[in-house]
Chains A and B, each alone.
Chain A
Amino acid sequence: MTRDAWIGVVFLAFAVIYWIAADGIRISPLDGPVTAAGLPKSLAYALGGLAVLLILRSLALKRMMAGTQARPAAAAAAEEAGPSDSHAHLRALGMLALGVGYLLVVPFLGYILSIVGLLLAASLYIGARFGVKTAAIAGLGGVFFYLLFVQFLHIPLPPGLWPDLLRSLQG
């Protein structure tokens, strides 16, 4: 099966799951001729239909191409991800993980420390050299963002556990 055919299968499965979830939407006496579940169910049918079309299109294209000369390696490579693609995907996943990491620590460390950490970690991850320069840029960047958002725009960014900690130390 081709890549697009597999994508079609995944979307078909998603459409079925979505329809089941839509079927669970409560019917209200305030609903008109079309209930709250009406559009979601229609969208599930539409997505399912399009997924089937994608599968059929992909298989038809494959069949058309199969009539040409013996399929050379280049055609296979076009469908399959090579090592460099896998590397790029892993890099992207790592970048995403950095973001999640920031979100996990910010309630504890507070905004300024977390953002400095994010700037430092992201810079190093994308290729900056570990050293005083990178650390300084991350630190200055954190201060800049703090001044911009908290002081200038008056946005109450997460303080972390520090206020409670200071209160408990004082008390």
Chain B
Amino acid sequence: MEGLSYAWQALTTTPAVFAAMGGVVWGILGGALPGISPSITMALLLPFTYTMDPTTAIVMLASTYVGAEYGGSIPAILIRTPGTNAAAATAIDGYEMQKQGRGGEALGISLVSGVIGGLIGLFFLVVLTKPLAQVALLFTPPAYFALGILGLSVIASLSSGSLIKGLMAGVIGLMIATVGTDPISGVGRFTYGSPELLGGIPFILVMVGVFAVSELLVQAGMPDWVKGGEAQTRIKLPSFAMLKRLRKPQLIGSAIGLFEGCMPGAGGSIAAFMSYNEARRWSKHPEEFGKGSPEAIAAPETANNTVAGTALVPMLSFGIPGSNSTAILLGGLLIHGLQPGPLLFEKHPDVIYGLFGGLFVANTSLFFIGMLILTPAIWLVNRPKPYLMAAIYALIFSGIYSIDHSLFDLYLVLIAGAIGYVMRLFGFPFLPLVLGLVLGYLIEANYRRSLLLTGGDHIVFIQDPVALGLLITALVFVAGSAWRDIRSAGRKAAADKTDGSAPA
């Protein structure tokens, strides 16, 4: 009841309601643009949240995530180009339905399934977050250090690409986090007399650079995406009979979204494809999949919007983001001096419950906004790419400058963008780097605090049962991933030897 009271207060005394709706609009438009992922859409918004109150800022960012997960299905259905990775599964049958003249029906199923998935995800977010955060109350400095290491290890082992590159990206992120003034002794590290670096490298600059600027650099060398023409498509909401048919795939999508969302490194796209496969397995009409099956749209769209809610569980409970988008959200919290975890519930319940309330508004308003915004979204997708990319470039520079009014920051963003481009080129995942940067302070401060308690004896990390358990779990993840890599390479080499085909 107290939570409801906080949520009501946040919604009625702050601009959180407008932030929720604005975030959904921004998210749908951003998600609809191919190449602009939910995390990039959120990263572009991040500088503007500096001047907002914490609740409004977090609600807007989270609502952007909600909107973007639906927005990605618009071009997926209309022009077979998913706006987000999570919409790739939707494109399979969605575009088939569009070709059959049923594009409006596909969009309606996507919208309704997205709303249902989002509300289910929100329910589990509310139910699971506080109990898990209470577990974190048992954490001592050694345990927090171990939690940071576990977070990095899990993300590095589950990210795309090789484990070694994931771990290297995490280490690079931690290295960037060491730039600035040492938190314990006040000594300058890697500042070389530059006053701008004394405060460290703000992670927002790295996030925007690595996600948004590097994408612009990639898009500069790519051809324009396929346009859908100016023909208008109107949303057609599913009938009651259709809704009845869609119950099973939506249930499958929400169950998989719940599980995948809580798992670090999993995310919407894995949940979407798993849901697609399971929905086909359990469908009474599996032969329709791939040819325009409504169930094939309902399952992945429910899944990816469920993930938009449940992915916040590990981030809010422990402060460990499990995806690029939740890493941006964590950045939004840290900008306002809010550290996720049990203390956030104790010290700032208004922010947490305000977020829950805001997400409720976002998911319910998605239904109406989704219908109204279709025409502008289609118009935007059909705009010439040069103008869109140029506008995003200008938005990045203007937004980042608004933080500290510093041109130095803009140079750092460009450098981060170049690093992001090189990382893409050589197969290094982004998330471990971002996580290393965001968790760097937590890891170092708790490591040194732990050793202060014991006079420098590292035995403290083994004597603390929670820390030991977390470190062993980290080791298991890394070892398991290494074993998987080795087996995969061995199997590939054996397969090539057997059939004499060229190695990829």
A126 CA to B391 CA in the complex, in Å? 12
A contact face: mostly helix, strand, loop, or mixed? helix
B426 and A92 contacting across the interface, CB-CB below 8 Å: no
A139 CA to B174 CA in the complex, in Å? 42
Given contacts A33-B455, A40-B178, A126-B385, contact A28 B220 (CB under 8 A): no
Given contacts A91-B220, A92-B421, A128-B384, contact A32 B164 (CB under 8 A): no
B387 and A103 contacting across the interface, CB-CB below 8 Å: no
- The one of B393, B447, B489 in contact with A34, judged by C-beta atoms closer than 8 angstroms, is B447
- The one of B168, B220, B490 in contact with A95, judged by C-beta atoms closer than 8 angstroms, is B220
B496 and A65 contacting across the interface, CB-CB below 8 Å: yes
A53 CA to B54 CA in the complex, in Å? 43
A120 CA to B503 CA in the complex, in Å? 45
- The one of A50, A75, A111, A122 in contact with B168, judged by C-beta atoms closer than 8 angstroms, is A50
Q: Does B410 contact A (CB under 8 A)?
A: yes
A32 and B451 contacting across the interface, CB-CB below 8 Å: yes
Question: For residues 170 through 217 of chain B, which have their beta carbon under 8 Å from a beta carbon of chain A?
Answer: 171-172, 174-175, 178, 182, 184-190, 213, 216-217
When distances are taken between beta carbons in the complex, the residues of chain B under 8 Å from A106 are 407
Q: Does B162 contact A (CB under 8 A)?
A: yes
* Contact pattern, A 76-117, Cβ under 8 Å of B = 1, otherwise 0: 001000000001111110111011101100110001000100
B172 and A47 contacting across the interface, CB-CB below 8 Å: yes
A54 and B178 contacting across the interface, CB-CB below 8 Å: no
Smallest Cβ-Cβ distance to B392: which chain A residue: A122
Q: Does B224 contact A (CB under 8 A)?
A: yes
Q: Does A171 contact B (CB under 8 A)?
A: no
Given contacts A115-B398, A127-B385, A128-B386, contact A51 B175 (CB under 8 A): no
* Contact pattern, A 30-72, Cβ under 8 Å of B = 1, otherwise 0: 1111111111100100110011011001000100110111011
A43 CA to B436 CA in the complex, in Å? 11
B502 and A72 contacting across the interface, CB-CB below 8 Å: yes
When distances are taken between beta carbons in the complex, the residues of chain B under 8 Å from A27 are 187
When distances are taken between beta carbons in the complex, the residues of chain B under 8 Å from A125 are 220, 386
Q: Does A21 contact B (CB under 8 A)?
A: yes
When distances are taken between beta carbons in the complex, the residues of chain A under 8 Å from B135 are none
Count contacts on A: residues with CB < 8 A to the other chain: 81
Q: Does A153 contact B (CB under 8 A)?
A: yes
- The one of A25, A39, A61 in contact with B489, judged by C-beta atoms closer than 8 angstroms, is A61
Smallest Cβ-Cβ distance to B384: which chain A residue: A128
Question: For residues 150 through 179 of chain B, which have their beta carbon under 8 Å from a beta carbon of chain A?
Answer: 162, 164-165, 167-168, 171-172, 174-175, 178
A88 and B216 contacting across the interface, CB-CB below 8 Å: no
Smallest Cβ-Cβ distance to B411: which chain A residue: A103
Instruction: Write the nearest CB–CB distance from B292 to chain A, whole angstroms.
Output: 34
- The one of A118, A123, A155 in contact with B386, judged by C-beta atoms closer than 8 angstroms, is A123
A118 and B393 contacting across the interface, CB-CB below 8 Å: yes
- The one of A21, A91, A92, A119 in contact with B390, judged by C-beta atoms closer than 8 angstroms, is A119
B217 and A68 contacting across the interface, CB-CB below 8 Å: no
When distances are taken between beta carbons in the complex, the residues of chain A under 8 Å from B455 are 33
Q: Does B493 contact A (CB under 8 A)?
A: yes
A45 CA to B300 CA in the complex, in Å? 43
- The one of B162, B164, B178, B186 in contact with A39, judged by C-beta atoms closer than 8 angstroms, is B178
When distances are taken between beta carbons in the complex, the residues of chain B under 8 Å from A61 are 489, 493
B184 and A124 contacting across the interface, CB-CB below 8 Å: no
- The one of A95, A120, A128 in contact with B217, judged by C-beta atoms closer than 8 angstroms, is A95
Given contacts A47-B172, A119-B391, contact A34 B385 (CB under 8 A): no
Q: Which residues of B contact A (CB under 8 A)?
A: 48, 51, 162, 164-165, 167-168, 171-172, 174-175, 178, 182, 184-190, 213, 216-222, 224, 384-387, 389-391, 393-395, 397-398, 401-402, 405, 407, 410-411, 414, 417-418, 421, 425-426, 444, 447-448, 451-452, 455-456, 489-490, 493, 496-497, 500-504
Of the A-B pairs whose beta carbons lie under 8 Å apart in the complex, a sample of 30, sorted by A's number, is A25-B182, A26-B188, A31-B187, A34-B448, A34-B451, A40-B189, A61-B493, A64-B493, A68-B502, A69-B500, A69-B501, A71-B503, A75-B503, A89-B425, A92-B220, A95-B220, A96-B217, A96-B414, A96-B418, A107-B407, A115-B394, A118-B394, A119-B393, A120-B390, A127-B384, A127-B386, A128-B386, A153-B48, A153-B51, A156-B405
19 extra A-B contacts, CB within 8 A, seeds A28-B182, A141-B387: A33-B448, A33-B456, A34-B451, A36-B182, A39-B178, A40-B178, A40-B189, A57-B162, A75-B504, A78-B504, A96-B418, A98-B393, A103-B407, A111-B398, A124-B386, A126-B386, A153-B402, A155-B401, A155-B405
